[in-house]
Chain A
Amino acid sequence: MLVPLSYNLRSLFVRRVSTLLTVVGIGATVAVVAGVISLQQGFKTMFAASGREDVAIFLRPGATNEGDSMFTRERALTLTKKVPEIAVDDEEAPLAAMECYLAVRLNRLGGGETNVPIRGVQPATFAIHGEDLRIVEGRHFEPGTDEVIVGQRLPGRMQSCRLGDAIQINITPFRVVGVFASNGPFDTEIWGDLDRMLESLERIGPNRVMARLRPATDLAALAERMKEDKEVPSQVQSERDYLTSQTTYLSATLLFLGGFLGLVMGTAAVFTATNTMLAAVTARTHEIGILLSTGFRPLPIFFSFLFESLVLGLLGGAVGCLFTLPLNGVQTGTTNFNTFTEVAFAFRVTPPVLLGAVLFSLVLGLLGGAWPAWRAARLEPTAALRRQ
C-alpha cells in the first residue's frame, strides 16, 4: 500500500519557509545553467538556421574560414563560370558571386574596440540571398561607389554606423546609406561594393565564392570533384555547414561553462535538498513510526519521501524556468573566437532547454532525497514511536 501523496504535499506546505528557501535555491541553480545553455542555443541557431542548403561556399583548400581563404580575381571568376551545378538567372547569368571579407576595427558605442566584418559583395550576392535579406531603412548601395549598407544590429552597438555616417576604411571614407536585416550573422556586418572594397583594402582578390545551386545537386560529389580540380582547386560546403563550422569554439566554451556550473552548483543544491529532507524526516519521526505500525511497508515510505523530494526539485525547476524565461530574446554580443569578430545574438529559451532544466531539477531532487528517504524507511517502528 502506498502512502497517500497528499501527505507529502501537505508536509511541504506545513514547512513552507524551509520549502520556499530550498525551492528558490534549486531554482537559482537551474536558472544559471539554463541561462548559459540558452545563450549557446541562441548563438548556434542564429548561425545554423540562417544558412541555406542550396547555397554553396567555395574556399581555398585548407582554409577554416573565409578570413583564411583567398582567390585571385581571375581564378574566382573562372570558378563562377565553369561549375555546371551553379543555377542561372533569367538572363542565363550564373547565380554566383565573389566576396571579400575583412574584420575591421570599430569602436563600440559604450567605448572599447572590437572587430566587425566588412564584406565586399556583387549584385549577384543579393540575387542568391533573395528574400532572406531585405533593406529595412534607407536604400541599397549604388554599385561602384563608396557607399555601404550595415546590418540591423550595428547602428545600436557601434559608432559611425548610423545612416549618413562615414566609416573610414584605410584611407577611404564609405558612407552608410542603408540598414539591412537578415536574421543571421550578417546582421553584424557591413556590406559594400566588391571592387571598391578590394581597392581600398589593397587586396588582389576575393576571399570566397558563393553560389546558388541547381535543384537536386549532389553537393558531396561536387565537393569531391572540386577538391581535385586541376584549374581552381577549392573546398566546397553548403552555407549551412559553413556557418555551423564557425560556431565551434564559442559553442564549446559555453557548453563547458554550463556543464561545469551545473556540476558544481548542482552539488551544492543536492546538499541543500538533503538537508531539507533530513530535517523533514527528523521532524516526522513520530509520524513515520505511526505509519510503520499501521502496516505501511518500508518501501512505500521510501518512495513517499523520495516523491516529496522530487516535488521539491520540480518546484525548484519551475522557479528556475520562471527566472530564465525573461531572458528569452535579450540581445547580447561577444567575440566569436572562430572568426575573431563581434557577433550579436539573443538568448533563446527553447522548449528543449526548459525540458532539460526540469529534468535537471528532478535529478537534483532525486539525489537530494535518496539518503533521507532511505533513512526514513529504515526506522524502527517502536523507536520511532517513542520519539516526541
Chain B
Amino acid sequence: MLRLVLRNLLKHPLRSLLTVGSLVVALFLLCLLRSLVTALNAGVEAANAQRLIVQSAVSLFVDLPTSYQTKIEAVDGVASVAKWQWFGGYYQDPGNFFAQFAVDGAELFDMYPELEIVEGSQEGFLARRTSCVIGEGLVRDFGWKVGETIPIIGALFPGPGGEAWQFDVAAVYRPTRPNLDPRTLFFHWDYFAQTEREITGEEPKVGVFVTRLAPGADATAVMATVDSLFANGPQRVQTTTEAEFNRQFVSMVGNLPRFIGAIGGGVLLAILLACVNTMLMAGREQTHDVGILKALGFTNASVLRLLLVQSFVLCGVGGGLGILLAISSAAGIAATMGQYFPGYEVRTATILLAAAVTIGIGFLAGIFPAWQAGRRSPVEDLRATI
C-alpha cells in the first residue's frame, strides 16, 4: 500500500512539492513564534531563588544612595550585597547596543555561579581596577580578546574630558543558564565611582542592590525587613526575588504574546486550508483509481486508510522539514536576535506541539477526501472522467 501512496504523491511532483513547501513554511513559523514567547519567559524560569533584587519602589529610572548597602548587609539572613548600575554606553556607534554594568567585582562570581569563565581569569579581573569581564557574544560580534583595551562611550555618564571610557578585557564568560545575556560587559564599581567623583564631584548612585541570601534564610522575611528599612525615605525600595524582577520586564511587553498567538492561529488556518485543498484535489483526481480499487474488492475502510496515509506522508514530510529548519536555524536566530531574546531556543515542548499540529493537519486534510470517496459507489467512481 505504501508504494501506492508514494506513486500517487509522485504522480504530481510539483503539487506535492508545493504542499510540502507551504507546510515547511508554516511549521517553521509556528516553531519560531512559539520559541520567541518561551524565550521571553526564560529569564523568569531560570532565575536563582537565592538572589533578591532591591530597587526603587517608585521607578525603574530612580537610583538609590550607596549608603543603603551597609544597612541591607546588616539584615538577618543576608549573606552579601552588591551594587549594580546600568551604564548605558555604546561602542563607536549607538547602534552597537549591549548592556554594561558597573558592579561590585569581588561579589560578582560568588553571586552568579552561572557565569562560567572560558578565557582569562577571575584573578585577572580582580587585580586591576580598570578590568572588565565580557560575554562571549561580544567576542563573537566585535572580535575583542583578553588583554585588549576597549573604548566605550558613556551616553548617560560622559567619560573623563567627554571622551570614551577605557576598559581592559580580563576575562570572557559564558552563561550556563538562559537568565543571563551572553552580551554583557561587567566592570568595577570602584573604577566607575571614582571616575564619576572626579568628573562631577558627586557620589554616583546605585541602580539596584543584588542581595544573596544566607543558606536557609527566609526570603519573604528578608524582603519585608529591607522594604521597611526605607519606608520613610529618602527613597522607598521594593525588594523582589530575581524571578519577580525579571517578570516585570516580561510584563512590560503586555499582550504581545497573545498577539503572537493570534498570528500563529492565522498561519495555521491558512496552511490547514491549503492542505485540505491539495488533498481534496488529489482525492478528486484519484476518483477513477478509487473506483478500480473498490471494484477489485478493496473495502471503503482500506480506501480511507490509503487516502489518510497519503495525507500523513505529505504532512509528515513538510512538517518534519519545517521543524528541522526551525531547529537548525535556532543558533543563527539566537545570534542575531540575542540582544532582544537572550534565551532563544527551540524547546522539546515546542517541537512536540509542532509535531502534534502536523499530525492534526494531516488527519483533517486526509479525512475529508476519504469521507467523500467512501460515500460514492464504485460505479460512480469509475464513470468519473476527471
A interface residues, Cβ below 8 angstroms from B: 17-18, 21-22, 24-26, 28-29, 31-32, 35-36, 67-68, 102-105, 108, 112-115, 169-171, 201-202, 261, 264-265, 267-269, 271-272, 274-276, 278-279, 282-283, 332-335, 340, 342, 388
Contact = CB atoms under 8 A, between A and B. Distances in A.
B252 A115 contact: yes
A278 B253 CA distance: 44
B270 A265 contact: yes
Task: Rank and list the top 6 A-B pairs by shortest CB-CB distance, nearest first.
Answer: A112-B251, A268-B22, A28-B270, A272-B274, A32-B266, A271-B18
A171 B263 contact: no
A18 B266 contact: no
Secondary structure at chain B's binding surface: helix, strand, loop or mixed?
Answer: helix
Given A18-B280, A261-B263, A271 B274 contact: yes
Secondary structure at chain A's binding surface: helix, strand, loop or mixed?
Answer: helix
Given A67-B61, A264-B25, A272-B22, A28 B254 contact: no
Interface in B4-49: 12, 14-15, 18-19, 21-22, 25-26, 28-29
B273 interface: yes
Interface string B272-307: 011011101100010000000000000000000000
Contact of B263 (A36, A104, A282): A36
B263 A32 contact: yes
B274 A170 contact: no
A149 to B, nearest CB: 19
Given A272-B277, A279-B15, A114 B254 contact: yes
Contacts of A272: 18, 22, 270, 273-274, 277-278
B57 interface: yes
A377 to B, nearest CB: 17
Interface in B154-190: 156
Nearest to B255: A332
Given A18-B281, A275-B277, A104 B58 contact: yes
B259 interface: yes
6 contacts: A32-B267, A104-B59, A108-B251, A268-B21, A268-B22, A268-B270
A170 B57 contact: yes
A271 B76 CA distance: 66
B257 to A, nearest CB: 10
Interface of B: 12, 14-15, 18-19, 21-22, 25-26, 28-29, 57-62, 156, 231-236, 238, 247-248, 251-256, 259, 262-263, 266-267, 269-271, 273-274, 276-278, 280-281, 285, 385-386
Q: Count chain A CB atoms within 10 A of each CB in B59, B232, B248, B276 and give the residue with the most.
A: B59
A264 to B, nearest CB: 6
Contact of A25 (B57, B236, B254, B273): B273
A332 B254 CA distance: 9
A357 to B, nearest CB: 13
A103 B59 contact: yes
Contacts of B59: 102-105, 115
Contacts of A268: 21-22, 25-26, 270-271, 274
A28 B266 contact: yes
Nearest to B26: A268
A94 B369 CA distance: 77
Contacts of B266: 28-29, 31-32, 35, 265
Contacts of B252: 113-115, 334-335, 340, 342
A105 B253 contact: no
B21 A102 contact: no
B154 to A, nearest CB: 12
A112 B319 CA distance: 36
Contacts of B235: 170, 202
Q: Count chain A CB atoms within 10 A of each CB in B236, B247, B271, B285 and give the residue with the most.
A: B271
Given A32-B266, A332-B259, A388-B385, A271 B21 contact: yes
Given A25-B274, A108-B251, A170-B58, A271 B19 contact: yes
Contacts of B281: 18, 275-276, 279
Contacts of B234: 202
Contacts of B232: 171
Contact of B22 (A36, A113, A271): A271
Given A18-B281, A114-B252, A335-B252, 20 more contacts: A21-B277, A25-B270, A32-B267, A35-B262, A35-B263, A105-B58, A108-B251, A112-B251, A114-B254, A115-B59, A264-B25, A269-B270, A269-B274, A275-B18, A332-B259, A334-B255, A335-B253, A335-B254, A340-B60, A342-B252
B18 A18 contact: no
A278 to B, nearest CB: 6
Nearest to A112: B251
A74 B254 CA distance: 39
B25 A265 contact: yes
B251 A278 contact: no
Nearest to B55: A105
A264 B29 contact: yes
A197 to B, nearest CB: 11
B233 A170 contact: yes
A340 B248 CA distance: 12
A102 B62 contact: yes
